[in-house]
Structure 1
Amino acid sequence: MSDAEILRALHENLTRRSMPEMVAGRLAGLSAIQAVPALAAQLAEVAGSRPRFSFLPDDFSEPVAPARQIAKAAELFPEIEALPPTERDPAAIEAYVARLSAAIAKAPRKSDFRGDRLDRVGRRAAGLELGGHAYTKRFRFLARLEAHLATYTRERRHRALRLLGKIGLVEGISHDRFAANPAAAAFMAYYAARRGLRSTFTSDSQTRPFDQPAAALLRLAEADPATDWALVARLHPMPEVLARLTPDQRGALLAEWTAALAGLAEELESTWRRSRFQLDDMVVGRGDDSSTWNLLAQAWNSARAAWFSLLEATGQQGLLEECCPGKVMRLMAADVAAWHRADGGGLHPDTAVWRALPQPWAVLRGEAACPRSLVEVACRAAGADPQASGWVAVRLPPEPVPFTPTPELVHGVEVGAPGLALLLRKRGVFSGKASRVAPPPAL
């Protein structure tokens, strides 16, 4: 493959979940990598460290657009200009649904069959010539389409937040800008794959993404005077990267992360209000929407860390003296919590700090006071170091960790081989549900 073909494939994988080994294999073919034999050999070793085949999906879950319903709409509403079934933009689909609704005098998002559907008199008053059956068929269809669109829009937002929390400001990076600097692109592609690794079921800490190959690729970018550091900072907003940006670039990036925090604050509060989390231990309970909460918590903590880093880089860290919103704790599964206790561990100090502080979304909006001094007092009471734990300052990354091959996982549990993973997944092992393994025959 040519450099252009490799860079196009790497750009497409930025928002996917390709394994670092696959990305390393592609990087080894770049001219900029081949010019550094030691780095090319290192990436070739990474690429060959595990079987090429995996049963793990190579993408984050992709929301299903209402393509079939859009195609059906063209049949039911031939008088309205049709929308291509391939349309994926929720705003364009919503505008189309509004035009369809206007054709039968239906108010947008008013889909109650009893209260919102027009009777014969109402249809005549609205100038509709449709009979009762034809009108009802279209009303029901639009009600279902609106419900599908609402789900699709929400899942699109969740996918964007998953990318934000796992990888960074990776959406919207153009191919031309990405491919303009192969050294920076190489680091971003590999580091995005490392950040996108799935969590494993463990009582220890998760694998850190900044490993030795990532550090070597970052050094390659540092050696290139043409490196687009503003692009690199979207995934790696660390002080040594932010120091290379212009004041305008740092300000623009700070504005993006601030906007991300503001949006997350609204969604966190909404999820919080409809939930009843156990603040004492943050162990998930029956009825808790743990998937949404943990997704939002991860995105908040990533955005908050980047925001702290940019405040420091722009000389505005004094803001934290008056407004220091805290981290958001994720919900922990009961079996993981029991595992911690069995290993002799107790409640993580961060949970006690989270419990003692005002809700961070209220702090960000100025509705609750949470100065840095209050956070430091809560940290000391919980036995946590305020700076090292990242509560009041940027938590600097440790030294690069050695590369470890991507494990084959079944519901977060590491297994030995892809074939074994398929067998266990088919039999429902580790799923939390009754296993589909047939009982042994009676003797």
Structure 2
Amino acid sequence: MSAHSERLLRELYASLGQRKRPEDVAQLIRDLFDATPGSLDRRTRTALEKATRTSLRSLWHGYTSMLEDFARPVGAQRQLARAAALFATVTALPEAAGDDPAQVEAVIRAAGEEIRKEYGHSDFLSDRLNREQRAEAGLGEVSKRQYNKRFRLLRRMEAKLARILVEQHKREITVIGKSGLASRLPYEEFTADAGTAAFIAYLTARANLRSEFTVSGQQRPYDEVADALFRRLDADTATWGAAATLAG
């Protein structure tokens, strides 16, 4: 597989958990098949050409006002940066760490050990150490003000972590409600067959369309392009288990 095809497959895989316009996913699929000359039958090529007429690449302004992702929780990047400034045991972390609950929790636990704070015990009245307790814990050189500042930060970080977990769960439920379990597919299974990957990515994009308030009913995800992509699947190489993760 060429580097170009690999990049396109990664973009298609990323789209499973996003809300990209079906036209733009169709453009990625068309590019993917164009990278392998002769891989498209006339019916599928015609359907893709029709769909991509309104892709962002085809439009002169190349812009959409619609968000291309489901709402994501605000991460703990700011709190992690503050922790790195206050705690000697905490090092600066990459931006993505603020969206990873496991890394945020690890920082809270490590920083808590530095001031002898137990994870989950954040009551400002009953869980703080007094002067004698700080001295016994080897924190005699830490002033009450500095200790309280660190305690408050860890308390806020624990609350922030709880909010992130709730919002991530809500987002996951929303995505699954729109397009089934497609967003949970492992990358290796998704890319095992390019044709199946194209079908899954396009139908997922269609399923993730925003609901419309209309008397004629909602658009059905399975359209002309989805049908063409499905019909060109090879019965011997298609990964039917992966395709079955889509909502019915």
TM-score range, shorter chain: 0.7 to 0.9
| 1:77 is the counterpart of 2:87 | yes
| 1:218 is the counterpart of 2:230 | yes
Following superposition, the deviation at residue 33 of structure 1 comes to 7.8
Distance 1:47 1:27, change over 3 A: same
Cα deviation per residue 1:347-388 (whole Å; 9 max; x = unaligned)?
xxxxxxxxxxxxxxxxxxxxxxxxxxxxxxxxxxxxxxxxxx
Write the distance in 1 (CA, Å) between the matches of 2:214 and 2:113. 54
| 1:207 is the counterpart of 2:219 | yes
Write the distance in 2 (CA, Å) between the matches of 1:151 and 1:118. 26
Distance 1:118 1:179, change over 3 A: same
* Corresponding residue number in structure 1 for 2:160: 148
The 5 A counterparts of 1:259-278 are none
The 5 A counterparts of 1:28-427 are 28-29=30-31, 30=33, 31=36, 34-49=39-54, 51=59, 52-78=62-88, 80-82=89-91, 84-86=93-95, 87=97, 88-129=99-140, 130-202=142-214, 205-221=217-233, 223-236=234-247
Read off the aligned partner of 1:4 and give its amino acid letter: E
What runs of 5+ residues in structure 1 fail to find an aligned partner?
239-443
Read off the aligned partner of 2:43 and give its amino acid letter: A
* Corresponding residue number in structure 2 for 1:3: 5
Read off the aligned partner of 1:35 and give its amino acid letter: L
Write the distance in 2 (CA, Å) between the matches of 1:110 and 1:83. 25
- For normalisation by structure 2, the TM-score amounts to 0.84
Residue 156 of structure 2 aligns to a residue whose secondary structure is helix
Select which of 1, 15, 18 maps to 1:16.
Answer: 18
* Corresponding residue number in structure 1 for 2:28: 26
Read off the aligned partner of 1:207 and give its amino acid letter: Q
Following superposition, the deviation at residue 209 of structure 1 comes to 1.1
Distance 1:81 1:144, change over 3 A: closer
Write the distance in 1 (CA, Å) between the matches of 2:93 and 2:38. 42
Write the distance in 2 (CA, Å) between the matches of 1:85 and 1:68. 11
Distance 1:201 1:115, change over 3 A: farther
Distance 1:101 1:38, change over 3 A: same
Following superposition, the deviation at residue 201 of structure 1 comes to 2.9
Following superposition, the deviation at residue 226 of structure 1 comes to 0.5
Write the distance in 2 (CA, Å) between the matches of 1:174 and 1:89. 18
* Corresponding residue number in structure 2 for 1:359: none
| Higher helix fraction (1 or 2) | 2
Write the distance in 2 (CA, Å) between the matches of 1:199 and 1:121. 61
Residue 227 of structure 2 aligns to a residue whose secondary structure is helix
Following superposition, the deviation at residue 224 of structure 1 comes to 4.2
